[in-house]
Amino acid sequence: MKYLKNVQDRGIVLTPDTLGQPVYRWDGGGMREAILNKEDGWFILNYDGAMPGENSTSYWNACQARSKDLVHWEKLGPNMVASALCHPESSWETYKDFCSASSPWSFYSDGRWYHYYVGADHTAPDGTPAFWYSTMLATSETLTGLWHKRCDDEGCARHVCLTMGPAGSWNDVTTSPGQIVENPRWTQDPKGEKRYLMFYSGSCSGETKRSLGIARSNDLAVSDDFDAPQGSFWQKDDQPILPPEHDIENTSIYYEEETGLWWLFTNHIYANAYTDSVWVYWTKDLEHWDPENRAIVVDKTVSSWAHGAIGMPTVMKKDDSTLVLLYDAVPGDGTGHLHRSIGLAEISLPLQAE
């Protein structure tokens, strides 16, 4: 398999707090799934904070940090928490984010941020979110403001944005969010095309395999009860965009104007056990992807500090010559889901595979 050229790993840039530090209660168990945005001159990082304790109530919550240079970060703490912490009288049967409210992908439109986040209704014994994963909605006027979860609105406790696929389908246990982009075909055909495309993650029951799909909507705020048979949800395409045999999840998309190529960064799962590398796919047609057009971006041979578990990527253009990539990983050879840190890599533009 090819490698993406000119990838320089810059090492760890953010670590979990230790006992006695301000955010230890929220990320002392590790940090995962770094998602990068920018607002008012600040790089804003959303990440999953794992509460310390390594038990079934060590929930994962959405935390933030900010930086001017991507290397030195100021933690801002949590701004969205699992429903078990704010609705302890309820249960997972009502709130699909009862055990985790994490991994928010953000999209800005008409003065409002829309945050599509992972809701998990169960945990593993160590607190790691467990199936099912749902896509849920929160909104805010600012990226660093407190997010208002749709499920906290009266009558909306059961709301999600995407439904699970039917039993036996490729996405019958997971429909978790990925990056949202405006559909380039919508301006030419606003009546026939949906305006927004979400590149979401799906996985199947039985022998779990994961892939990526496209969901469509004209309304960024659409959601409904997760079990509503004719509810208002994002409309999912029937088939994934890449083979489930590739076993990939999460999406961060970069459009390169010079070449007209879309680049989709994702993470690969090794032996259905842990994420071991960051991959990238490329295409000129946002809705059609050739599975052979792929390359490794970060693995144990590229990372300067992680040689086991390497997790979800997010990318952003830093300047005319540099694309930055943030990813989570376990320092050293560890392959667990906890006790991860956030690392930074820089990639020279234009992107090239060899």
Residue 100 in domain: yes
Q: What is the pLDDT of residue 145?
A: 85
Residue 227 in domain: yes
Residue 191 in domain: yes
Q: What is the pLDDT of residue 192?
A: 96
This prediction's pTM: 0.97
Of residues 28, 90, 91, 36, the one with CA closest to residue 61 = 28
What total number of domains does the chain contain? 1
Q: What is the pLDDT of residues 290-344, one digit of tens each?
A: 999 999 999 999 999 999 999 999 999 999 999 999 999 999 999 999 999 999 9
Question: In whole angstroms, how far apart are CA 195 and each of 127, 190, 261, 317, 320?
Answer: 37, 7, 20, 24, 28
Residue 189 in domain: yes
User: What is the domain extent for residue 132?
Assistant: 2-348
Q: Which residues have C-beta within 8 Å of that of residue 36, sequence separation ≥ 6?
A: 43, 44, 45, 314, 315, 316, 324, 326
Residue 24 in domain: yes
Q: Which residues have C-beta within 8 Å of that of residue 49, sequence separation ≥ 6?
A: 16, 23, 26, 27, 29, 30, 31, 60, 61, 62, 63, 78
CA separation for the pair 303, 12 (Å, rounded): 10
Residue 229: which CATH number?
A: 2.115.10.20
Q: What is the pLDDT of residue 52?
A: 98
Q: What is the pLDDT of residue 110?
A: 92
Question: In whole angstroms, how far apart are CA 123 and each of 100, 101, 132, 179?
Answer: 8, 12, 9, 24
Residue 246 in domain: yes
Q: What is the pLDDT of residue 295?
A: 98
Helix-, strand-, coil-residue percentages of the chain, each rounded to 5: 5, 50, 50
Q: Which residues have C-beta within 8 Å of that of residue 251, sequence separation ≥ 6?
A: 178, 179, 199, 200, 201, 212, 264, 265, 266
Which single residue is written with the structure tokens 């010559």?
Answer: 321
Residue 122 in domain: yes
CA separation for the pair 164, 176 (Å, rounded): 10
Question: In whole angstroms, how far apart are CA 298 and each of 102, 289, 313, 326, 348?
Answer: 23, 21, 9, 10, 14
Residue 102 in domain: yes
Give the chain's residues under pLDDT 50: none
- In the chain, count of helices (H) and strands (E)? 2, 24
| Most distant CA pair in the chain, distance | 56
